[in-house]
Amino acid sequence: MESNLLDQYEIIIFDCDGVLIDINELKCEAFGKAVEGYDTDIVEKFVYHCRNSFGISRYVKFKEFFSDFLNEPYNEEIYKDLVSKYSNICKDFYMSAKITPGTEKLLSEISLKNKYLYIASGSDEIELKEVFSIRNLKKYFSGIYGSPKSKSECTSIVLNNHPGKKAVFIGDSLADLKTAREYQIEFIYMTNFTIQSYDRDQLCRDGATKIIKTLEELIQC
């Protein structure tokens, strides 16, 4: 373990799902539950798509549900209903899902240093702020950003707040790697809770500055 790995960064940006909270599998379940009642084949294909596009906002995915899976015109009323169902299911899951190993100790440790900690997530921003407040984790972060802003937009806000400071993105998906590359910052790939395909996993491994299983590996001795 490199005990001083994070010391070189002034800004540390975390993805949420699969990095801070072990909720990826539960969210796949939530996508399936939100579209229950449609043809089984459509539901299965949609859930498979969601598994392989973590980091992309639910607002995008449920619009894709009409165009790419139902092959029907977009319906605003049904869309809002699907988003609402998914959101309600996720709120329950976020409260019961486990915090990933090492998360609270690492956040406590690095928050005492002169660093800025942020979340840039594809999950709903209001939902995340509420969950992190209830679970007593919000205090560690200078900001929590999420959808309907894209992950790229979230990261842009963070970096624009601290021009010239060195940043790193800790994530578990190809969307996280792409965001880090877009802003030319380093990427730490956390693998234990990712649910990506083999090909996406390999791309993340190849593009990472550092590969870790959990945040425990970043805790100083």
Domain end among 59, 75, 96 = 96
Count how many domains the chain has: 2
Supply φ then ψ for residue 173, to 5 degrees. Answer: -145, 165
12 lies in the same domain as 31: no
145 lies in the same domain as 191: yes
158 lies in the same domain as 60: no
117 lies in the same domain as 9: yes
Residue 181, number of CB atoms within 10 A of its CB: 13
pLDDT higher than threshold 70 for residue 3: no
163 lies in the same domain as 126: yes
Q: Do the bridges between strand 167-171 and strand 143-147 make them parallel or antiparallel, or are there none, so unpaired?
A: unpaired
**What pLDDT shows up at residue 153?**
96
**pLDDT single digits (tens) 60-108:** 999 999 999 999 999 999 999 999 999 999 999 999 999 999 999 999 9
87 lies in the same domain as 119: no
- Indicate which CATH number applies to the domain containing 168: 3.40.50.1000
- Cα gap 203→177, rounded to integer Å: 9
**What pLDDT shows up at residue 103?**
97
What element of type H or E holds 189?
strand 186-190
The parent domain of residue 54 ranges over: 25-96
13 lies in the same domain as 121: yes
74 lies in the same domain as 118: no
Mean pLDDT of 141-165: 96
**What pLDDT shows up at residue 51?**
86
88 lies in the same domain as 120: no
**What pLDDT shows up at residue 10?**
96
Domain end among 76, 96, 116 = 96
Residue type, 88: N
Q: With bands split at pLDDT 50, 70 and 90, how would you rate the model's confidence at 2? A: very low
Domain end among 38, 68, 96 = 96
197 lies in the same domain as 161: yes
Q: With bands split at pLDDT 50, 70 and 90, how would you rate the model's confidence at 57? A: confident
How would you classify residue 137: left for phi > 0, otherwise alpha for psi between -120 and 50, otherwise beta? Answer: alpha
- Cα gap 30→192, rounded to integer Å: 20
127 lies in the same domain as 208: yes
124 lies in the same domain as 50: no
Supply φ then ψ for residue 210, to 5 degrees. Answer: -150, 140
